[in-house]
Structure 1
Amino acid sequence: MITIDGSEGEGGGQMVRNSCALSLVTGQPFRITNIRAKRSKPGLMRQHVTAVEAAAAISGSECSGLTVGSSDLTFHPGKAQAGDYRFAVGTAGSTGLVLQTVLMPLLLADGPSRLVLEGGTHNMLAPPFDFIERCFLPIINRMGPRVSARLMRHGFYPRGGGRIEVEIAPAPLVPVDCTRRGDLLCVGAQAAYCGLAGEIPQRMLDRARKDLPGWNAEDFAIRKLPDDQGPGVILMLEARYQEVTEIVSGFGQLGVTAERLGKTAAARMRGYLESDAFAGPYLADQLILPFVLAGGGTFTTVKPSQHLVTAIDIAQRFTGRTVRLEQQEGGCHRVGVE
């Protein structure tokens, strides 16, 4: 059994999600102690419990310690089975992070699957649905499987209530090279909101536009959603290249001005545009599992985050494969699976 100290490295829920996914694929049981010990509210939260429940449901796995607030989890994997599944977080917890837990095992199952996930779709501390659909899944589809996702209803923090539907056609994962973006095709900014005054998303866009002087007025748009899907607001800045798309987001938060959110998002997008890296920090985190399970492949990224380093460590422990992280000229970092 693999034993993991949840207080090491990034120390968050990513360790639980990735361990469940890798356990189902490799057949190795694991135990995690000190779960989320570095967080203000340690232990499993509702979205983590749902993610582990989902992993168990698609495979008949057995686990102990699976309760909200638990700091110790033991997981004995079964075998992932294709099928139709529905999982509800019950809060604004991220549907995308639940998907992250079960996607890799279902990509390697013996038939197609369909998922309905309910909860948060656009909330803090998790990639928004748009990022999953337009940044992450296109890379997965280049590797052999076919995955499509549809947003049926937005779910903002704290209400939740969102819904996404995912269709999975499995296939062996094939190594790919993701080191070149290709030409820049277009850029765009959208502020989606509901249940709030319209001047809030406008202020976010105005500040982002000020800090992105090369973008044109027609690149910025506001989208008003039905009030019952909120309240909430998100700013998404998108850069689409021939080979990859990057989306940087800023979520509305109490006590944080619209101008500050717009400024921060624009600064992050400028950092990506000024680099030559293929993957931004969030895409890099999510590419580790498919690349390791493919048994090879290379991508470049910006300065490695603690999330990325921890994802590499967990992947190596379950698979025995070597993942090399090397700094390149110009500030990029190369991630290669051997």
Structure 2
Amino acid sequence: MDFLKINGGHGEGGGQIIRSAIALACITKQSIHLENIRKNRKVSGLRPQHLTSIRILQKISNAKVIGAGIGSTELKFIPGDIDSLELSEDVGTAGSISLILQVLIPVVAIAQKKLSLTIKGGTDVLWSPCIDYTQYVLKEAFSRMGIKFSLELIKRGYYPKGGGEIKLQVFPSKLKLTSFAKRKTNNVKIICTFSKIAIEIIEREIQQMKNKFTNEGFKVEVEITNQEAMDSGASLLIYSIDENSIIGVDCLFDKKTQRFDLNFEKFIKKTQGIDTNLADMLVVPASLCPGRTTFLVKEITKHLETNLFVTSKITGCKYGIGKLDNGFEVIIEGVSNSSIK
């Protein structure tokens, strides 16, 4: 059997390579051999959240998998035909649900199948988008690209116990071209959820944020919700959406400093079409959308650079990056794979 070899230590060498490579393997029916998995990380190899993604994608695509174990630095993934399924999964403790959804949604939707998934784990954890980012930012962006899904939050799950739960529905979708240019709106929404933290502390933080945005000429809408979770915690999402742009930033409440650690100036000065985290997430669908997808970003992160490289290697898509006065333009010339028509 012919395997496409992917160096998991390329570029930033993290979980993004695993997620993108396996998602694209399922869609294109290309067998892949991942080596040097998470080589550049302090703890190398596969972690529980990666294994959950692999396990679910294995079920969805009837794949044969070799080397799927905690700490494994090598993996072979041999996909079969993608099925519509109803699944129930548990990441365990506070493993990120959002990172898992990033790969599941495009695979099922682009393959024109359905998925009904109940999954438990962490909804709001470090080094991962909060579930509200998935619900309000990623969902809007995917929708404009033709990818349809619905998400229902059952329970929040913070680090370390997790215990969060969501229900996901993914629908057969047809990709379409879109572009994200410059932000024009001055409307901003702040969403904050918390558990087992004094509401006075939360309201103080949010009011300070609102004042900063108002002083910069933004119109601000605020939503604060107390949602019971197993652990104490709080998450924050700030986003703005118009016909040309989708920009979001999120963070968790630092219980030591009693503050939300967020760079407001960075958000205020972002006038590009999408934020840097969203740029990572759009590469996979853009690579399979016939025609040219373009978006403007403030910076080219290692994550984005790595994702573009790996995606182009698997799909054969072309991409280019152009420097602008206030950021970068990313162009992805997608390809339509015969296996997903």
TM-score between the two structures when normalised by the length of structure 2:
0.89
Residue 285 of structure 2 is aligned with which of 290, 295, 304? 290
Worse-matched range after superposition: 280-289 or 232-241: 232-241
Whole-angstrom CA distance in 2 between matches of 1:41 and 1:237: 31
Question: SS of 1:332's equivalent?
Answer: strand
What per-residue deviation string (whole Å, max 9, x for no partner) do you get for residues 233-283 of structure 1?
11222223244432211212454x234x34x331331232xx2x1110011
Question: SS of 1:294's equivalent?
Answer: coil
Letter in 1 for 2:119: L
Whole-angstrom CA distance in 1 between matches of 2:220 and 2:92: 38
Report the CA distance between 1:309 and its aligned residue: 0.4
Whole-angstrom CA distance in 1 between matches of 2:273 and 2:310: 23
Question: SS of 1:337's equivalent?
Answer: strand
Report the CA distance between 1:305 and its aligned residue: 0.6
Residue 150 of structure 1 is aligned with which of 152, 155, 168? 152
Q: What does 1:113-132 correspond to in 2, within 5 Å?
A: 113-132=115-134
Report the CA distance between 1:220 and its aligned residue: 4.2
Residue 258 of structure 1: aligned partner: 258
Residue 305 of structure 1 is aligned with which of 301, 305, 309? 301
Q: What does 1:28-107 correspond to in 2, within 5 Å?
A: 28-107=30-109
C-alpha root-mean-square deviation of aligned residues, in Å? 2.2
Conserved in 2, the CA contact under 8 Å of 1:134 and 1:245? no
Whether 1:248 and 2:246 are equivalent positions in the alignment is no
Report the CA distance between 1:11 and its aligned residue: 0.9
Worse-matched range after superposition: 8-17 or 202-211: 202-211
Question: SS of 2:61's equivalent?
Answer: coil
Report the CA distance between 1:91 and its aligned residue: 1.9
Report the CA distance between 1:165 and its aligned residue: 1.6
Report the CA distance between 1:124 and its aligned residue: 1.2
Conserved in 2, the CA contact under 8 Å of 1:46 and 1:93? yes
Worse-matched range after superposition: 326-335 or 154-163: 326-335
Whole-angstrom CA distance in 1 between matches of 2:258 and 2:237: 13
Letter in 1 for 2:266: R
Question: SS of 1:236's equivalent?
Answer: strand
Letter in 1 for 2:116: R
Whole-angstrom CA distance in 1 between matches of 2:200 and 2:39: 39
Conserved in 2, the CA contact under 8 Å of 1:81 and 1:110? no
Whole-angstrom CA distance in 2 between matches of 1:32 and 1:201: 44
Residue 330 of structure 2: aligned partner: 334
Conserved in 2, the CA contact under 8 Å of 1:62 and 1:77? yes
The alignment covers a number of residue pairs equal to 330
TM-score between the two structures when normalised by the length of structure 1:
0.90
Letter in 2 for 1:283: L
What per-residue deviation string (whole Å, max 9, x for no partner) do you get for residues 22-49 of structure 1?
0011111112222112222211111011
Unaligned runs of at least 5 residues, structure 1: none
Report the CA distance between 1:315 and its aligned residue: 0.6
Whole-angstrom CA distance in 1 between matches of 2:328 and 2:163: 39
Worse-matched range after superposition: 314-323 or 144-153: 144-153
Residue 197 of structure 2: aligned partner: 196
Conserved in 2, the CA contact under 8 Å of 1:185 and 1:240? no
Cα 1:91/1:150, change in 2 over 3 Å: same
Residue 273 of structure 2 is aligned with which of 269, 278, 284? 278
Conserved in 1, the CA contact under 8 Å of 2:210 and 2:220? no
Conserved in 2, the CA contact under 8 Å of 1:34 and 1:72? yes
Letter in 2 for 1:333: E
Unaligned runs of at least 5 residues, structure 2: 335-341
Whole-angstrom CA distance in 1 between matches of 2:50 and 2:77: 13
Question: SS of 2:94's equivalent?
Answer: coil
Cα 1:241/1:175, change in 2 over 3 Å: closer
Cα 1:95/1:69, change in 2 over 3 Å: same
Cα 1:145/1:221, change in 2 over 3 Å: closer
Whole-angstrom CA distance in 2 between matches of 1:17 and 1:315: 11
Report the CA distance between 1:210 and its aligned residue: 5.5
Question: SS of 2:304's equivalent?
Answer: helix
Cα 1:13/1:116, change in 2 over 3 Å: same
Letter in 2 for 1:137: K
Whole-angstrom CA distance in 2 between matches of 1:291 and 1:224: 37
Whole-angstrom CA distance in 1 between matches of 2:19 and 2:138: 17
Conserved in 1, the CA contact under 8 Å of 2:53 and 2:100? yes
Conserved in 2, the CA contact under 8 Å of 1:180 and 1:278? yes
Conserved in 1, the CA contact under 8 Å of 2:298 and 2:326? no
Residue identity over aligned pairs, in percent, reads 26
Question: SS of 2:150's equivalent?
Answer: strand
Residue 112 of structure 1: aligned partner: 114
